[in-house]
Amino acid sequence: MITENFTLVNASGLKLEARIDRDESRATQPLVFIVGGFASEAFEGSMSQRALVPIFLKHGFAVMRMNFRGNGNSDGDVRHSTITAGLEDLHTATDYIKTLPWVEYVGISGSSHGSAIALAEVAEKPSLDYKFLILQSARIDLTDYYESNGAIDFKAWKRDGYTLSSGRLHNYSMYTDSLKYKPWEVAGRIRITTLIVHGDRDETCPYDFAVKLHGLVKSSELATVSGLGHKYDERVGEIIDGWLAKINRIYLDGQAS
């Protein structure tokens, strides 16, 4: 296995640090891109990203991670991590993936805030022909996330520019930008194989949202993790591990379209 560290530059001129882990002995292999949560350092900080890397590698996938703007050593301000900004950063990565001759096909995995970015990418105007989607502790409806938070004073937020949510500062643009996206309207457009993993004690991203999403995405499977809140634990990895074995049977036996 080799690890390649490199820097990409997005459309706004921001430098974004990226990493690919892969089996260099293989002439070709599939790749999965991991989109982490809000203020989530991709390489050493985020357990939901780090713990999945060996699982994907085990099943023959190369893994690409990137510190989106404001995370790790990437340029930018994490407090302005809107969905639109996330998509701009993601498209910087997908443009790079298109140049890699060894990539057979691509899947995308999003957790928490990253799920909103992954869903918008796949459901609206995908920049790649994705073969599968994984949504973990999905916080896809940011508008509801903010509006249902009784602790947020919207007038003060608009006036001051920032508010504190879940211990982190969010710029008001994160709310106004979220209004442009209609996840419940576009989710039904998803046709690729999808896994939704969600804890039934998640108070940050209600479990009911996962059930609703599963009902809209006809090609999805919902895996419920009993007693789990808004975090990663080894049971999530075990579920994804088992699910990837099915993906291997579909695509790695030469049946990929």
| Mean pLDDT, rounded, for 2-11 | 97
- Residue 178 per-residue DSSP state: H
Cβ-contact 191, 219 below 8 angstroms: yes
Least confident piece of the model among 23-32, 47-56, 78-87, 190-199:
47-56
- Which pLDDT band holds residue 153 (cuts at 50, 70, 90)? very high
- Which pLDDT band holds residue 256 (cuts at 50, 70, 90)? very low
pLDDT of amino acid 254: 46
| Mean pLDDT, rounded, for 31-52 | 87
Is residue 250's pLDDT more than 80? no
> How far apart (Å, rounded) are the C-alpha atoms in residues 132 and 117?
15
- Nearest Cα neighbor of 86 from 142, 35, 138, 31 is 35
pLDDT of amino acid 57: 95
pLDDT of amino acid 255: 42
Alpha helices in the chain (DSSP H): 47-50, 52-58, 83-97, 113-123, 142-147, 154-160, 172-178, 183-186, 207-216, 234-251
> How far apart (Å, rounded) are the C-alpha atoms in residues 250 and 245?
9
Least confident piece of the model among 84-93, 122-131, 170-179, 248-257:
248-257
pLDDT of amino acid 2: 95
> How far apart (Å, rounded) are the C-alpha atoms in residues 253 and 3?
26
**Half-sphere CA count of 130, side-chain side, radius 13 A:** 25
| Mean pLDDT, rounded, for 34-46 | 86
State the average pLDDT for the chain.
92
Name the pairing type of β-strands 2-9 and 130-136: unpaired
C-alpha radius of gyration, the chain, whole number? 17
Residue-wise pLDDT for 157-210, tens only, equals 999 999 988 778 999 999 999 999 999 999 999 999 999 999 999 988 899 999
> How far apart (Å, rounded) are the C-alpha atoms in residues 110 and 140?
10
pLDDT of amino acid 4: 97
Going along the chain from its start, the domains and CATH numbers come out as 2-146+183-251 (3.40.50.1820)
Is residue 247's pLDDT more than 90? no
Residue-wise pLDDT for 134-143, tens only, equals 999 998 999 9
Q: pTM of this prediction?
A: 0.94
Q: What percent of the chain has pLDDT over 90?
A: 80
